[in-house]
Structure 1
Amino acid sequence: MKNYKYIGLFLASLAIASCDVNNDLDEIPANLPAEVELNTNGLDFSSYVAVGASFTAGFTDGALFKVAQENSFPNILASKFGTTFNQPLMNDNIGGLLVSGNVIQGPRLFFNGSGPAPLAATPTTEVTSKVTGALHNFGIPGAKSFHLVATGYGSLAALQQNLANPYFVRMSSSANATVVGDAMAMNPTFFTLSEVGGNDVLGYATTGGDGTNPITSTALFNQAFGALVQTLTSGGAKGVIGNVPYITNLPHFTTVPHNPVPLDAATASALNAAYAQYNGGIQQAFGALVQLQVMTQEQASAEIAKRTISFSAGQNAVVIVDENLTDLGAINPAFAALPKYRQATAADLLVLLSASFIGTLDNPANPLSVNGVAVPLADKWVLTPEEQMEIKTATDAYNAIIESVVSSNPNLALVDLKSVLEEASAGIRFDGYTMTTKLVVGGLVSLDGIHLTARGYALMANKILAAMDAKFGTNFTTATNGLAKAGNYPTNYSPALR
């Protein structure tokens, strides 16, 4: 450490020596790359519109706010297209919404040093204050496929009945307007249609597949998607359409481990004693079913092992309610009182919000009523393998429809967002950065664990531009400044930004 004092002297000597340099010497010319002019190959960007959901809007860190909108992938694309692009900007960088002065959506998240936390601020953007003027960004956070073609989705009266979307209420041309109809009023010459289908499975996933937000049927998605594409291309516009990633690869579902419960030996022993009656009942029930020849001994043993709850010193799996377990009461009413409990495995996905719920008390007056331990986690906190398969099956069906429509229309290009997210799970390169899907530190996904960072949206814009090059013969990927630069877009926003 004591040698550090000489660093200042060394730097000073360099400064003195620099005075003796002959500044009249000829400069060495920089070896700059040759300029490559952009070739749009006849594409007309004079009226570019973006239709979609939260990614299109620029939703980041659990909210929509001004700077995030300015860093949305459609706004980045418009800057490369050299075209006017007006967005329904929020009032501030706090995020969140008010309806008649009442907060209906809270402010954005920031990193407080240990994890995501909401800003200590009150939203100022009022839904009832309409955005006026021409708009080009029709990204509606929360919209499912059929919402984009539904009348009344921008009605304030319908919003009061929870039948409309506050973001579209704020920007819709009338109470009976449709999202795609308002987009068509701009007479688009080029469009992007992205993340259609994402929310159709996302609502089911974020509620743990508990049935309160069901997956959109393939038939309904097919009808809505077909109507969207037919309408957007009806005036001759060309466009790029994104497929649907496997949303269960997002950190909202991969961050919380299945075994987050640390226990000492004494506590583990006490819990085992508390679950002894349940474990005994399970063994008795399946033993009886074997005797009645309802199932084989092998089947019964597998079910007993799956449902037996056991704790030990160290990290332990949470206890969950699994509706997919065998309904013992339906087989024999004598066992109807036995609940569908088991401990989670690595195959289960706990939603991000469970991190702040596990370990809390179900009953504040009872210190033993620990959620996730003594009190099993309800269905809404966990995606079981069966529920994950439902999401995958629906996603695959949506993508088959999307790919069929795109391949049959020469005016459409497909951007493979599904592959991008899969690649990012291991690490995807963007300029000098390696981005992953890890929460907080990965750089791709924002603090809500679902939506992208500004740098993530810049990467998405570049993937769209690459898809355009491949389909339409443009040269954004090779033109000088044809692509967004990673270093121009942040991965987080300061809590001081208001």
Structure 2
Amino acid sequence: MKKIYAIGAVAFMFAACRPNANVTTPATSGNANFTNYLAVGCSFTAGYGDNSLTVSGQLNSYPQRLFEQFETIKDGKGAVGPFIQPLVTGDNGYPEPKLVLSTVTHCDGKISMAPVKTTLPLDSNGSWRFVNPVNNNQVNNVSVPKLRVADIPVQGYAGPNAYARRYFYDPTKRPLDEIYARVYNVHPTFFTLWLGITDVLGYAVSGGQGNGSRLAVPVTLNIYNSNDITPDAVFAANYDSVLTALTSTGAFGALLSIPDITALPYFTTRPMNGLHITSKGFADTLMALYPDVNNKIFDTGDNYYIIRDNVGGIRQAVPGELLLITVPQDSITCAGWGSTKPIPREYVLTTDELQNIRNAVTSFNGYIQKEARDRNLPYVDMRQFFETLSTGITYNGINYSTEFVSGGAFSLDAIHLNARGNALVANKIIEAINAFFKSNIPMTDVNKYPGVKFP
């Protein structure tokens, strides 16, 4: 992922307040059994953050928080450890260096705080599969960054995926085989499943440079281009096969839906009307520079950028279109991007591309919800949760939102959550579980976990 630039000053989070620890009723399992917990998912389940995998990220994943809360149940159906995750051995990133906040000097001499790649030594091991087996090869968090529902039947998937290659019991087999292997090793009584985000995310972070119609064809057997949105039929068949594996030993679980990808700070931090014009003369120059662009408006103040759209045309952006956070700030400030030169299309999500993303999320969530209904499992509405987060969530006096850095819930890659964001997700899941199974699982203390680290 390209270097990400923060815009403007970033706000420091206030010291966290301790929540009210008074518990009036004991934790109970209700109609569920949490004895053996298994988590399945992609990077959002792995504890991935700051554009990499770190041991602290894994230990602050939402499955880790859920296990700890399931452990508080003492009615005979609470979680029994150990909860084993395939931990990396370092905290500077694997296989890529993680992002850290640092000061950056821009082309105009201005200095800002921005995420940059750490220069500290990386985790050189990463091969958890080859260290001494733990608890008879037990793994309770089967999550793989970059894993799509589309990839579930791909033979040898772990070969090119460094995250999967670290711990898959047999890298030559399919992700579905890995799930079955862990199911029959752990014998889960309860699971969580959060897949589908990356089936849309690749298209979004590429600026829509793929097939967004949900009618893509595989490049080769079962393998789809990473920038394509997964076809509906493929998503439905593969998601169902994962659920069949997870319920094959009689386990119950919770199914998490896909958030609105376009609401993540990766797509909302850079304003599309960020072209600030201070002189009428320059506005007139731009009007004359684009004689073939219809409906263009340039005036003093904030203006919409000139972009290259998904068919290669040059035009002015319109309200609602989004600019990716990865667009180089220096190219806008000093090279005329967005004014005398169009911003390249890989940094832009146009109206039709946004519609492709939102249609896919709606379609996939409809299928997840149907599976939840048909299999009598709780549906955790993460789309609704992220919408609420975008307007702000207050937990014991601390405000959280989807604002980049200052919102306190997202990591520095502007896509994945940090430790506090993962704790918020865990509480959303617990809320859904309690309502569905009539259990009484306590919420985790969001504020006691680390947020964004400032230099």
Question: Scaled by the length of structure 2, what TM-score is found?
Answer: 0.81
Q: 2:52 aligns with which of 54, 59, 63?
A: 63
CA contact (8 A) 2:87 2:128 kept: no
Q: 1:85-234 counterparts in 2 under 5 A? A: 85-97=83-95, 105-110=96-101, 112=103, 114-127=113-126, 130=129, 132=131, 133=133, 134-155=138-159, 159=160, 165-177=161-173, 178=175, 179-184=178-183, 185-194=185-194, 196-211=195-210, 213-234=227-248
Checking the alignment, whether the CA contact within 8 Å between 1:188 and 1:237 is kept in structure 2 is: yes
Distance in 2, matches of 1:446 and 1:454, equals: 8
**Offset at residue 316 of structure 1 (A):** 3.1
**Separation in structure 1 between the aligned mates of residue 67 and residue 102 of structure 2, nearest angstrom:** 30
The one-letter amino acid of 2:165's match is: V
**Closer/same/farther in 2, CA of residues 108 and 220 from structure 1, 3 Å limit:** same
Question: Does 2:403 match 1:438?
Answer: yes
Give the structure 2 partner of residue 341 of structure 1.
314
Please list, as runs of the form range in 1=range in 2, the aligned pairs for 1:261-276 lying within 5 A after superposition: 261-265=275-279, 266-275=281-290
Take 2:182 and 2:262, find their aligned partners in 1: how far apart are those partners? 30
* Mapped contact 2:101–2:113 kept (Cα < 8 A): no
Q: Is the 8 A contact 2:270 2:324 kept in 1?
A: yes
Change (3 A) 1:47 1:129: closer
What's the counterpart of residue 72 of structure 1? 61
**Unaligned runs of at least 5 residues, structure 2:** 1-19, 72-79, 104-111, 211-224
Task: Please tell me whether the aligned partners of residues 51 and 191 of structure 1 are also in contact (alpha carbons under 8 angstroms).
Answer: yes
Cα separation, 1, equivalents of 2:321 and 2:163: 33
Read off the aligned partner of 2:397 and give its amino acid letter.
G
- Provide the rounded CA distance (Å) in 2 between the counterparts of 1:204 and 1:238: 32
The answer to whether the 8 Å contact 2:31/2:438 transfers is no
Would the aligned equivalents of 1:61 and 1:110 in 2 still touch at CA under 8 Å?
no
Aligned to 1:317: 304
Counterparts of 2:87 and 2:115, CA distance in 1: 24
| Equivalent position to 1:352, from 322, 325, 332 | 325
Partner of 1:6: none
Aligned positions, number: 394
Distance 2:37 2:179 in 1: 13
- Structure with the higher fraction of residues in helix conformation: 1
In 1, Cα distance between equivalents of 2:120 and 2:329: 21
Change (3 A) 1:41 1:200: same
Whether 2:430 is the aligned partner of 1:470: answer no
Q: Which runs of 4+ in 1 moved over 6 A?
A: none
Is the CA contact (8 Å cut-off) linking 2:39 and 2:45 kept in structure 1?
yes
CA distance in 1, matches of 2:246, 2:267: 34
Amino acid at match of 1:432: G
* 2:150–2:234 contact (8 Å) kept in structure 1: yes
Question: Match of 1:130, SS?
Answer: helix
Question: Aligned partners of 1:32 and 1:204: how far apart in 2?
Answer: 44
The one-letter code matched in structure 2 to 1:260 is G
Q: CA 1:356–1:91 in 2, change beyond 3 Å: closer, same or farther?
A: farther
CA spacing shift, 1:81–1:111, aligned 2, 3 Å: farther
1:149 Cα deviation (Å)?
4.2
Q: What's the TM-score once normalised by structure 1's chain length?
A: 0.74
Q: Which amino acid counterpart does residue 406 of structure 1 have in structure 2?
A: A
Would you say 1:488 and 2:448 are equivalent positions? yes
Amino acid at match of 1:312: D
2: CA distance between counterparts of 1:138 and 1:109? 27
The CA distance in 1 between the partners of 2:30 and 2:307, in whole Å, is 57
Aligned residues: CA RMSD: 2.3
Within 5 Å, which residues of 2 pair with 1:232-311?
A: 232-265=246-279, 266-275=281-290, 279=291, 281=292, 304-305=294-295, 308=296, 310-311=297-298
After superposition, the Cα gap between the structure-2 partners of 1:125 and 1:136, relative to the gap in structure 1 and judged at 3 Å, is: farther
Q: How does 1:46-57 map to 2 (within 5 A)?
A: 46-57=35-46
Structure 1, unaligned runs of 5 or more = 1-30, 98-104, 160-164, 283-303, 325-338, 362-368, 477-481
**Counterpart contact for 2:99–2:412, Cα < 8 Å:** no
> Which has the higher relative contact order, 1 or 2, with Cα contacts under 8 A spaced 6 or more apart?
2
